[in-house]
Structures are given as C-alpha cells and as structure tokens.
Amino acid sequence: MRDVAVIGLGITKFGELWDKSFRQLIAEAGSKAILDAGISGKEIDALYVGSMSAGRFIGQEHVGALVADCAGFSHTHIPAVRVESACASGGLAIRQGFLTVASGMNDIVVVGGVEKMTDVVGSEATNTLATAADQEWEAFFGATFPGLYAMIATRHMYEYGTTREHLAQVAVKNHANGALNPNAQFQREISIENVLNAIMVSYPLSILDCSPVSDGATAVILCAADKAKKYTDKPVKIIGSGQASDTLALHGRKDICTLEATVHAAKTAYKQANIQPKDIDVAEVHDCFTIAEILAIEDLGFVKKGEGGKAIDKKITTLDGEIPVNTSGGLKAKGHPVGATGVAQVAEIVLQLRGEADKRQVDGAKIGLTHNIGGSGASCIIHILEAM
C-alpha cells in the first residue's frame, strides 16, 4: 500500500443557498480544489463523490456522471463514482479515493461531497433523512433522528449524570467556533440559556441541540504521497483510515450509549497510524446532535465512557483546550449538507495542519482526526491525517 496525501481542497459556503444548484455547488468546490492543488484536468484519474439522497432532495440520480459532466471532465471520460452511506457518504467517498490511490490503481483522484437539501420542505427533508434509520422497526413507527438521539441522550443522562447544561455547552462551543469560520452556516455565538430555552424538538434536545438542514459542497484532491511535493509544499498525509458498521436500529445494540462502529473504526485507524488517542491534536467529530459529540469523544478514547459531559465542563474540547474538537463549528454551526460533511471534516483538518485556519487555528497542530457517522451510528468512517 502506498502513502496517500491531500494536496488541495475547495469549500463552498454552507447554508440555505437558494441561488445555487446542486451542480453549481460541486463544480465550485471542485474547481477551488483543483486550483489549490495546482493540477490540470488531464492529470486526474478518477472522481468519487459522496451524496446521500440527491434522488429525493432534487430528483436527480446518476450523480457520479452528472458531477463529472458539470465539473468539465466528461470529455476526459474518467471513471466517476457516487458513494452513499447516509450522513457518512462524504467520509466513505474519502476512504474509497484513499484506497484506490493507496492500491496503485490511480495516482490522483478528486473526492467531492455535496447535498442540496433546502429544495424540499422541512418535513420532506426529515422524511428523507429518516431513510437512513431502520424503516421497518423505527421510521414506520414515527421515529425520527431527533427522537432516536433523544433516547440516547436520555439514557446517557440516566447512566452517567450528564445534564442538559452539558449538552448546551457543546452547542455554545461549536457556535463560537463557527463564528470564526467564513463558510459556516451559523456565524454567531449563542449562550447556554439560548439552548435551554429554545423550542423543544425531542426531550432533552431543543432546536439548538440539532444540526440544521443545509446546502453545500466540499472537494479534496488525493495524490500518491511520493508525488505530492510536485504540487504543494504543504501536503498532508492520511496515515490512518478505519471503517465499521453496526445495527441500523437502536434496539439491536447492547448499549445505546456506545457507538460500536466508532469504537471499531477508531481501533483500525489508530493501529494503521501507529498512534494513540492522546496523540491527536485536533478533531472534527460528527455532532449531528449535541449528545453525538459527547459520545464521540468517549468512543474515540479522548475521555473515559461516561465522562464526556464532565469533559465539556472542563473545557478540554475548546480551541485552547487539551483536544480541540470541531474547530470548524462542526455540523451544529458549520452546517450539515449530509453528503458533503465527511469531506468538509477532512478539509478542515487539512487547513489546521497547514496552519491556514486563521482565527480558529490550533497552535502546533500536527495530527488530526475526522469522525463521520451514518444514521444513528450504523456506519462510521474515521481518518487520521498528519502534516508532512
């Protein structure tokens, strides 16, 4: 297996982007990534794009070929693959691109992620996202993802003494980071009182505990590491990649407060990278709901199981904390265009490791981690990156 590096990235604004279409968003992100990498179109061997549900959000399938076409690659006839793993579609697209370069099959690939979610009404967006849950045992009975994560949060509160204030502090921290990110959907700070007094969606989660419906796209360029210095003097190497699965429905798990897919994907990635959780300098984790970030920092080994809420109290995950988490603002503030999220996480870590994250820069960051979840934890993809 060859070493693989990220040599370029491109990010669009995230949010309710009424004046941009699905194809315009991914073309913008891809163009920015190609310019950032300094490569020409003829050097690209393949294209992978993560998109959860374009068929339901915009009525468009055959997404791989569409993206190749709107990005100007139809005349080069490169293979273009659409990748889906619910909200982990972007992370899985990164992994597929990583594997094809690592195997020697391709030298340079473009990996994109895109979703245009606001072209449907809110109830339809909720129903579309619910297709990532177990249709027979969860969605059929009216369970939505806010409801499923609320059950997880309630159990975590019962088992470990986690409080609504702990959950609220996750949202407050991530909004503070999002306020420093010019591409974030929500560039404003909030208070604990704002979160606690917001409209309740599913107890104990208020609307400010939930990530938004978003439009947006991100792209990165992956290259064989031994060729990366030809294009950039700041390549970032992917030193670990892990993927794991679990039951689709919560009722099939022995402990709904532990996402076993995260635990196992992390073990694979840490082993491949030959590091431990304490070696991570900065992380982007899947905070689709505030409880999800608390689970993530526990399951990734940053803190012991049950101590995620207390860790928030100790501010170990803030920009100047022991392990800064979601410097981009996370899904909560940056936004969550589901197919783009996993790619955007990698882009943020690359910016951090290149020292280009501006006001949200983590001093001395050398190793970063991304954690992308599908559904309520039925799939997980983790990547560990290191500045070369």
Q: Write out the catalytic residue numbers.
A: 87, 336
Give the Cα separation of 277 and 271 in Å (integer).
11
Give the Cα separation of 254 and 247 in Å (integer).
10
Give the Cα separation of 244 and 262 in Å (integer).
7
Q: What is the DSSP secondary-structure string of 119-132? A: TS-HHHHHHHHGGG
Give the Cα separation of 249 and 22 in Å (integer).
30
> What would the two tokens of residue 122 be?
């809110």
Orientation angle between helical segments 260-273 and 290-299, nearest 10 degrees: 50
Q: Decide: 299 and 377 in contact? Cβ < 8 Å.
A: no
Q: Decide: 346 and 383 in contact? Cβ < 8 Å.
A: yes
> What would the two tokens of residue 322 be?
């022991």
Q: Which residues contact 283 (CB under 8 A, 6 or more apart)?
A: 297, 300, 302, 323, 324, 325, 326, 349, 368, 369, 370, 371
On the CB side of 217, CA atoms within 13 Å amount to 29
